[in-house]
């Protein structure tokens, strides 16, 4: 009944948009048309290129989309994209890609970048996509996702896909703006932003954000009673960006404190002493300069510090701490000196100066783990975009990476792109990628009495080969359709299992996985100003040896979004997202159809914008598979939520 009611509501939105004044329609069409037909993607090849020419079936969500649909976090943005789905274990949020999302894997199989800067931490290789993401969404110009292996350019973590978040320029956000938000469960958020463009061409962005929410109370049949005030979260972020004549400097810091009501790791249920803290500090410098008309240089360096602390109360209080320091230097050249070729070459050096992990009990004191390590890795890559013919492009890339732990790995990518007509583009894409075992999987653990896990320094990298074919067609000047099929083969997948010899959990290379899938999408505009975006993805991911369906792998994902003007300057964005049933460790979750609705008004008063969002509009009960650290087989996800947002520009 909820889906029927929501589709009826979409019909009302369409009718309202159809009655909108024609004088306003052109204003609404301007940005969506540009987003459909004119946007370029950077993450697929490291340089801006039309979506049709990218060696991936890339997708882009713009700042206009973020505002229209009321996306609150990067996870919300990713959940709207074809083939992606989100799980929440009440500590972090995780993204699944084309049927692959092993519970407890910390988003280590996607590379997350901000303005081309790698942000995955160096202990867990985790990509933070919830409120722990580095940058406030109000600073984001667009989010790019390029599915499939990107290791031929980016190396580690670019396994299932590459996410690149591009921040705004100061010229697009001149002056001071403040934001205040109110959400369910006593949630509050405030931010202040400044964007300035100076006479000499320099640009400066400053931003600070703080938030606090109590979270809901939870009941679990595995425990007696209710977890009260155990889902709270507070976070703060600061960000600064300075640009001048090819030089860009960015610095920032994110801190997030989170409770967890699920009592993971055998901790006490409903114990308020349970708390985790993530802190990420970064500084980066990028210099781009044209050495000649045909040769572009890019130099990049960044420094990141990653800290985690967890307080785990059980019969004893256990403290878990990790501290990582990573320094990266990269040099890149892009050449068009040879006719018909666009060549990218580069070298990257990564120094993990600190890989520290400590775990100990308090009263009586006992050290269970003390690891202090470092690591060096480097990569060198070459890519050539070759114009074979007026209608044919060949994109060929190759990267070599060397690691202290397991040696070298070579990963290629080939994409043959055929512009059959001005409206029709066909792509055949092959790629190979690797995911190196991270420090947590290799070295976290102990055989001391009371320990639950041991390390495995002999882990080998996961290897994936992928094959994809896509067709992209412009049906007319306003409508665009996509269709594609894909096949992934992964070997030496890393997962955790119980060692019967000592009854300790350990990460091992477990076996092979295969995924077959197909995807279709339709996006466009009606002349009355309504925009539609839709996609359907079917994916079948299985263990090769046993033919077992993968855990946390929905076979069907379907997404529909409609947006437009409903009255005067009032805009609405409505979404339906269907997630198919998922296998758990012991059983199966049901499918879920979720509905979201956001209504907004720009300049409700001079300089004041209003946005009201309802998420999981019909309060659908649904769950995501849990991992080994919880007693629960599946964890219920968020019910109905709301957010009221006021944004004032001085």
Q: What is the pLDDT of residues 248-307, one digit of tens each?
A: 999 999 999 999 999 999 999 999 999 999 999 999 999 999 999 999 999 999 999 999
pLDDT of residue 47: 83
DSSP E strands: which ranges in 168-274? 175-183, 187-197, 203-213, 218-219, 226-227, 233-244, 247-258
Residue 611 near residue 600, CB atoms below 8 Å = yes
What pLDDT score was predicted for residue 38? 61
Residue 203 has pLDDT above 80, yes or no: yes
The Cα–Cα gap between 381 and 28 comes to 42
**In this predicted structure, what is the pLDDT of residue 21?**
37
- Residue 540 clears pLDDT 90, i.e. is over it: yes
Name all contacts of 420-426 with Cβ < 8 Å and 24+ positions apart: 420/391, 422/474, 423/473, 423/474, 423/475, 424/471, 424/472, 424/473, 424/474, 425/52, 425/471, 425/472, 425/473, 426/469, 426/470, 426/471, 426/472
Confidence tier at 198 by pLDDT (50, 70, 90): very high
pLDDT of 426 higher than 60: yes
> In angstroms, what CA-CA distances link 75 with 4, 102, 527?
26, 17, 31
Distance CA 98, CA 81 (A): 11
Mean of pLDDT values over 218-235: 95
Residue 41: band (very low, low, confident or very high) from pLDDT cuts 50, 70, 90: confident
User: What pLDDT score was predicted for residue 543?
Assistant: 95
Tell me how far apart the alpha carbons of residues 39 and 45 are, in angstroms, rounded to a whole number: 15
Flag the least confident range among 142-146, 215-219, 476-480, 597-601. 476-480
Task: Tell me: pLDDT of 172 over 50.
Answer: yes
- Average pLDDT over the chain reads 92
Q: What pLDDT is attached to residue 25?
A: 37
The secondary structure of 484-546 as a DSSP string is: EEEEEEEEEEEEEEEETTTTEEEEEEEEEEEEEEEEEEEEEE-TTS-EEEEEEEEEEEEETTT
Q: Note the pTM of the prediction, 2 decimals.
A: 0.93
pLDDT > 70: percent of the chain: 94
- Per-residue pLDDT at 387: 95
Cβ neighbour number for residue 217 with a 10 Å cutoff: 14
For residue range 7-22, list pLDDT tens digits in order: 444 444 444 444 443 3
Pick the closest to residue 508 from 558, 462, 556, 574 (CA basis).
462
Whether the Cβ atoms of residue 603 and residue 640 lie closer than 8 Å to each other? no
The tens digit of pLDDT for each residue in 467-525 reads 999 999 999 888 999 999 999 999 999 999 989 998 899 999 999 999 999 999 999 99
Predicted local distance difference test score (pLDDT) of residue 147: 93
Q: Is the pLDDT of residue 338 over 90?
A: yes
Q: What number is the average pLDDT over the span 165-184?
A: 94
**pLDDT band per the 50, 70, 90 thresholds, residue 36:** low
Residues 412-439 have a mean pLDDT of 96
Burial of 242 (C-beta count, 10 Å sphere; 0-12/13-18/19+): middle
pLDDT of residue 27: 42
Q: How many CA atoms lie within 13 A of 109 on its CB side?
A: 26
pLDDT band at 91 (very low <50, low <70, confident <90, very high): very high
Give the pLDDT of residue 2. 46
Residue 4's pLDDT band (cuts 50, 70, 90): very low
**Which phi and psi angles does 121 have, rounded to 5°?**
-70, 170
Other beta carbons within 10 angstroms of residue 523's beta carbon come to: 19
Contact yes or no for 222/266 (Cβ under 8 A): no
Lowest mean pLDDT segment, chosen from 45-54, 531-540, 600-609: 45-54
Q: What percent of the chain has pLDDT over 90?
A: 84
Q: Looking at residues 185-196, what average pLDDT do you find?
A: 96
Assign domain 2-649 to a CATH class: mainly beta
Residue 6 pLDDT > 70: no
pLDDT at 37: 52
Confidence of residue 26 (pLDDT cuts 50, 70, 90): very low
- The rounded distance, in Å, linking the Cα atoms of 441 and 142 is 33
């Amino acid at each position: 009944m909820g889906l029927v009611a929501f589709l009826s509501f979409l019909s009302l939105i369409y009718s309202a948009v159809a009655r909108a004044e024609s004088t306003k329609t052109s204003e609404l069409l301007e940005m969506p048309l540009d987003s459909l037909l004119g946007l370029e993607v950077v993450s697929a090849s490291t340089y801006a290129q039309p979506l049709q020419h990218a060696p991936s079936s890339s997708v882009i969500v713009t700042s206009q989309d973020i505002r229209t649909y009321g996306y609150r976090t990067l996870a919300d943005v990713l959940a709207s994209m074809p083939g992606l789905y989100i799980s929440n274990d009440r500590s972090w949020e995780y993204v699944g890609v084309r049927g692959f999302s092993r519970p407890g894997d910390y988003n280590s199989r996607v590379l997350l970048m901000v303005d081309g800067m790698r942000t995955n931490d160096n202990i867990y290789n985790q990509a933070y996509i919830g409120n722990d993401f580095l940058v406030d969404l109000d600073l984001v110009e667009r989010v790019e996702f390029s599915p499939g292996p990107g290791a031929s350019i980016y190396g580690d973590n670019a396994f299932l896909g590459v996410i690149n978040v591009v921040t705004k320029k100061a010229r697009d956000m001149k002056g001071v703006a403040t934001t205040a938000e109110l959400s369910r469960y006593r949630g509050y958020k405030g931010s202040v932003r400044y964007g300035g463009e100076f006479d000499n061409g320099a640009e400066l962005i400053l931003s600070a954000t703080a938030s606090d929410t109590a979270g809901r109370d939870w009941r679990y049949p595995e425990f007696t009673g209710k977890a009260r005030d155990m889902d709270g979260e507070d976070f703060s972020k600061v960000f600064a960006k300075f640009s001048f004549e090819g030089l860009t400097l960015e610095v920032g810091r994110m801190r997030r404190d989170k409770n967890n009501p699920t009592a993971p790791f055998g901790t006490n249920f409903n114990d308020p002493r349970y708390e985790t803290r993530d802190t990420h500090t970064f500084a980066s410098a990028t210099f781009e300069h044209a050495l000649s008309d045909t040769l572009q240089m890019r130099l990049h360096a960044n420094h990141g510090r990653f800290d985690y602390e967890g307080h785990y109360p059980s019969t004893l209080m256990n403290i878990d701490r990790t501290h990582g320091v990573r320094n990266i230097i990269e040099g890149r050249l892009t050449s068009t000196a040879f006719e018909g070729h666009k060549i990218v070459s580069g070298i990257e050096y990564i120094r993990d100066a600190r890989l520290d992990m400590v775990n100990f009990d308090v009263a009586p004191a006992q050290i269970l783990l003390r690891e202090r390590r470092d690591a060096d890795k480097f990569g060198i890559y070459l890519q050539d975009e070759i114009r074979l013919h007026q209608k044919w492009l060949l994109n060929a890339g190759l990267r070599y990476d060397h690691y202290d732990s397991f040696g070298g790995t070579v990963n290629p990518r080939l994409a043959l792109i055929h512009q059959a007509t001005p409206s029709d583009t066909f792509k055949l894409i092959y790629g190979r990628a690797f995911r190196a075992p991270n420090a947590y999987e290799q070295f976290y653990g102990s055989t001391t009495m009371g320990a639950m896990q041991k390390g495995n320094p002999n882990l080998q990298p996961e290897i994936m080969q992928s094959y994809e074919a896509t067709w992209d067609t412009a049906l007319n000047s306003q409508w665009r359709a996509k269709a594609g099929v894909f096949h992934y083969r992964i070997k030496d997948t890393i997962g955790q299992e119980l060692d019967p010899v000592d009854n300790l959990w350990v990460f091992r290379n477990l076996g092979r996985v295969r995924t077959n899938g197909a995807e279709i999408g339709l996006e466009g505009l009606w002349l009355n100003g309504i925009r539609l975006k839709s996609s359907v993805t079917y994916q079948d991911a299985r263990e090769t040896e046993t033919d077992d369906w993968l855990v946390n792998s929905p076979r069907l994902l379907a997404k529909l979004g409609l947006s437009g003007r409903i009255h005067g300057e009032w805009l609405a964005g409505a979404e339906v997202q269907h997630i198919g049933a998922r296998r758990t460790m012991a059983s199966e979750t049901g499918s879920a159809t979720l509905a979201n609705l956001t209504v907004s008004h720009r300049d409700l008063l001079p300089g004041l914008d209003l946005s009201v969002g309802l998420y999981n509009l019909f309060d659908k009960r649904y769950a995501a598979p849990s991992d080994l650290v919880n007693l629960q087989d599946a964890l219920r996800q968020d019910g109905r939520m709301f957010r009221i947002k006021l944004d004032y520009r001085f």
